[in-house]
Structures are given as structure tokens and as C-alpha cells.
Amino acid sequence: MTKRRRATILVAMVATASLALAGCTSEQDKKEAAKAAAPPPQLSISPAANAKDLPISTEVGLTVTGGKVTAVTLTDDKGGKVAGSLRTDGSSWLPDKALKNKQRYTAQVTATNDAGKEVTQTTNFTTMDKPAKEIFSTLYFQDKRTYGVAMPVTVDFDPGVPKEKRADVQKRLFVTTTPAQPGAWHWTEDGQQVFYRAPDFWKPGTTISVKAMLDGVPMGKEGFGDADRSATAKIGNKVSLDIDNGTKQMSVFKNDKLVRKIPVSLGKPSTPTSSGKMVIMEKHEQTVFDTTGSADPYVVTVQDAQRLTWGGEFIHSAPWSEGDQGSTNVSHGCTNVSAANAAFLMRTTQVGDLVTVRGTEVQLDDGNGWTAWNMDWDEYVKGSALPVPQDLKPAAAPPAAAGAPAPSGPPSTNQPPAPAPSNPGG
């Protein structure tokens, strides 16, 4: 073979090797080059610089593209760091507790992209003075308690929260459950109560942690939220009471097994007991029913009383009506049982147990007690001020056949209960 021929073959081999090497690395090289050439993330934060008179519930708002937030620092005017965390959707950084009034704060936020390029922005703002008007809130969920499987997380507001502010308030309410049982919030029409529950009852043994971060939250012209509150509690065994006006009997179920039948006397026609799904709200070994100022005034001390409504419907011991229990309704709206059966119920039930009443002359009003279960899930989720997660939305109903009858059932009401004297009953 001539020298020229050998040289041509060698050049061809080198060229082929180079092409092969280029083919193996070019895509990776392109990715690395693209990463190196990528611009830093785009970041914007709020509040605007030098903003003044902001509520003490202020969060650091975050908008980032081409990267993610990797650091947030909020400091007061003395350099003290404020503890907090990112919301799960990354929309803001939330302080662990309300800020201080008339305080200047500085926020510094860093965002980073995959190439390690960073951008940092800083803003500062000053909080408002202590507000002159507050909306008082109550969290009906106490720390280290055991509740029934129907226990809704309930927050009460006085006065009620206007509709245009409910979404902002709802964003400040947090519930976590172990094991996980996602749920949704529902506002009563008057805005005085908001409930949280899952589509089905809590599983016995569930741990529920609640944070109502309402201190300083704007709630309309009536004022700002009064305080932050939190609690962690557990769910006990499943107990439910089913009261049938037709038979004048209460069926007591424990873990879905019937354990006792109890004769009852419900509300007489002039003061009927409400039909619907209620939840035991309070338990009293002794309490006083005082209806002074009503059309039917009386004051009476009762034993072993369990509240079902704000309007004053209780299950309680009524030895004076034992002759009527199981046959005739003679109460002022309460469920009367014998002293022995009332004592049994006090030993058996928990706050948060479901009580269902059927067949009386009136229906339970929305918000007259913890009425979160007095509607189906489709209706319940309509009361959320924020979009409900897709996996919690009701399944679409199939189209009704032409001429099909409308579904039957008790009418839904959104009227708040009439004001009642403290702790009435009968």
C-alpha cells in the first residue's frame, strides 16, 4: 500500500472517531451550555417598599419564574429574626405568629435556578397601630381532648365575617390530620361560623391539629381578628344516637352496634324539637335552664344535660316526664330521658358524637349548633369561600331523565337561629 493510501485511511479513521465522540457528547454539552446560559430567576415580592400601616397578619408575597425561593429572612427593626415558613403553594411566606404593632420589618428573599444562579430582593414595611375594633373569635376545638367521629372543627365569629372577606380569613385556617383525611371549610350564611370536616366521619384514633391564625386579619368594617389559636386533639370511638319521633325511641349505637333503646319525650307541638343531624356540643353534670324574658318563662335546674343547638335543645335527665317518655311529647324542645338513661348517656357519649332526630314538625336551621353534617357533601362544599381541591369536589351527577321527579328531602334553610337566653332548654 502506498504512503498516500495509508495517510488517507488514517485521516478517515480520525474523522470517524471525532464524529463518534461528538455524537456521544453533543446533547449533554448542549444541556450544560443551555443551563449556563440561562438567565437568573425572575423574582418579585410584596409588600411594596416602605409600605405603611399594614396589618400584623401581613405575609411576604412571592412570585418567581425560572427558579424557586430558597431563602426568606424577615427581621424587625432591632435585627431580630421572625420565624415562619412557605405556604405549600409557594404563594407567600407566613410568619409563625402575628407581627407586632407599629413595628418596621425588613424582608429579604432569594430565588435560585437549576444552574445555581441566584437573585435576591429586599423590601421593608411598617405595621399599623393596634386596631380600635376587633372581631372576636372562638375555636371550638380544645387541646388534648378526645372527640367523637362527627366533630367538626368550628370557628365562631362575633360579629360575623362579611362575604367579601371570608376567603382571606379562610386562608388563615389550617387543619392537618393523621392519618390524612382531607376536608373542606363551609361558612354559614351569616358568616358567624365556619366548619371543617371531611366527606366522611373521622376514623377513630385520628389526630387532628388546628391553627387559626386570625390575629390582625382584616375582617371588614367591623374590625380585625382578635387572636391566634391552636389545638391538637384525638378522635375516640364511634358513638351515635338516632331519635325517632314516630316511635318516641332513641337508639344508641357504639361502633355501629346497637347497645341500648331509650324511651324519649320530645318537644310538644308549641315548642317542637328540630329534625336533623346535630353534634353534641357540651356536656354538663348539672346546669340551669333560664328562659326568663321568653313567651314561656321558667328557671329549672337539670342533671346530665348535653347541648345540641345554640337555641337551647338538649338531651337531659327529666324524671318529671318519665311517665310520658316513649309515648307523648311534653318538653320545650329538648329530648327528655329518665335519670338512669341520662346517666348512661353521659358515660357513653363524647362531644362530637352525631345525634340524628327524625320526624318532628320543624327542620334544624343552618348554624343553629354545629350543623356541618346536616347537608350532603355536594351542598356542603358550596359553602367554601375558596376553590375546593379537585379530589374533594363532588362527582358530577348524571343528567336527569326527562319527566323524572325532583329529589325529595327536607328543605335547606340558611336562616340564623333566633337569639336565645343563655343556656335555655326544656
> How far are the Cα atoms of 22, 41, 48, 108 from residue 121, in angstroms, in the given order?
41, 11, 11, 6
Exposure class string for 357-377: b at 16+ Cβ within 10 A, else e:
beebbebbbbbbbbbbbbbeb
For residue 197, give the 3-state DSSP assignment. strand
Q: Which residues are catalytic?
A: 316, 334
Neighbours of 336 (CB within 10 A): 29
**Among 191, 65, 50, 194, CA closest to 125:** 50
Helix (H) or strand (E) holding 380: helix 377-381
Instruction: Return the C-alpha cell found at 290.
Output: 333560664
Helix (H) or strand (E) holding 31: helix 3-37
Residue 339: what are its φ and ψ, rounded to 5°?
Answer: -60, -40
The Cα angle at residue 366 between residues 157 and 209, in degrees rounded to 5: 50
d(CA 223, CA 136): 9
Instruction: Return the C-alpha cell found at 415.
Output: 336562616
Instruction: Return the C-alpha cell found at 82.
Output: 421572625
Query: Tens place of pLDDT for every residue, the chain, 426 residues?
Result: 554 444 444 444 444 444 444 455 667 666 666 566 678 999 999 999 999 999 999 999 999 999 999 999 999 999 999 999 999 999 999 999 999 999 999 999 999 999 999 999 999 999 999 999 999 999 999 999 999 999 999 999 999 999 999 999 999 999 999 999 999 999 999 999 999 999 999 999 999 999 999 999 999 998 999 999 999 999 999 999 999 999 999 999 999 999 999 999 999 999 999 999 999 999 999 999 988 877 778 899 999 999 999 999 999 999 999 999 999 999 999 999 999 999 999 999 999 999 999 999 999 999 999 999 999 999 999 999 999 998 898 765 555 444 333 333 333 323 333 333 334 566
**Among 202, 224, 199, 203, CA closest to 213:** 224
Q: Where are the beta strands (DSSP E) in 90-214?
A: 92-95, 104-112, 118-127, 134-139, 146-147, 153-158, 173-178, 184-187, 193-197, 207-213
Q: Tens digits of per-residue pLDDT, 378-402? A: 999 999 999 999 889 876 555 544 4
- Strands 118-127 vs 146-147: parallel, antiparallel or unpaired: unpaired
